[in-house]
Amino acid sequence: MKQYVVDAFTDRVFRGNPAAVCLPESWPPDELMADIAMENRFSETAFAVREPEGWRLRWFTPGGEIDLCGHATLATAYVILRFVEPDADVVRFRTMSGVLTVTRRRGSGDGVNDHAGDVFTMDFPAFDLKPTPVTDAMELALGARPIEAWLGRDLLCVMPDEQTVRNLDPDQELLKDLPGLLANVTAVGDADSGFDCVSRSFAPKLNVPEDPVCGSGHCHILPYWSKRLGKPALTAYQASARGGVIHATVSNGRVSLGGSAALFSTGTILPD
């Protein structure tokens, strides 16, 4: 089984969010896909199979299958449009979250890599957010008290400023007791940062202490800031140790997430 490792939401390796992309000719057993994800230890391993109806995409964390993942979708589109369908600029995936479309805008290359500068834009559903009370448990788990809290698939905690988000050192065990699948923490970007918002995403329930750049988390974060700031087009920064930039547009219940990708490695998985 061919496997690619791609750093998403960045134009250079060792930044952004790494994802493994596997392209089996037919679906492996679920147990094998879960074992591969556990072996890889990335926040997500993507599996894409070309079926008669088109590409189907599934995502596995070290803790099991998940219903939506942004960076691994970007990484999979990068692999397919570079290595499998190089003449195409659009790929559609059937997923647990419906049909997801990724469009490539070709870059000019850098003389070595013809794909340098390519930008991939993903059309994702926005999660419906409902306000939820700020609790002492949130403050204890995160190490700082949110000024607002919202709940979709994930918990979204709004902090008073960017530095609070950057300085967080949450208690991973206490995070597991909070509502929501992931805990996304966000604040408006500093005036001189060039970013509308700065965020971090924690996923100990999926055996991922911190997701370096979380696309599905931004399907909570960006709709919140779009409404709060009154602007549809946003630039977001994920303030993990690796860091990553997301360019986005929010409209009609959808989030358009854009970013680059960099190939780290290719290889072959040899399961028993």
User: Catalytic residue positions?
Assistant: 44
**Which one-letter DSSP state was computed for residue 206?**
G
The Cα–Cα gap between 252 and 103 comes to 19
Strands (E), the chain: 2-8, 17-22, 45-51, 54-61, 64-66, 90-95, 98-105, 119-125, 130-131, 148-151, 155-158, 183-188, 197-203, 208-211, 233-238, 244-251, 254-259, 261-268
- Closest-CA residue to 258 (of 70, 126, 125, 91): 70
Under a CB-based contact definition with an 8 Å cutoff, are residues 25 and 48 in contact? no
Q: Which amino acid is at 3?
A: Q
Phi, psi of 65 (to 5 degrees): -75, 150
Amino acid at 114: D
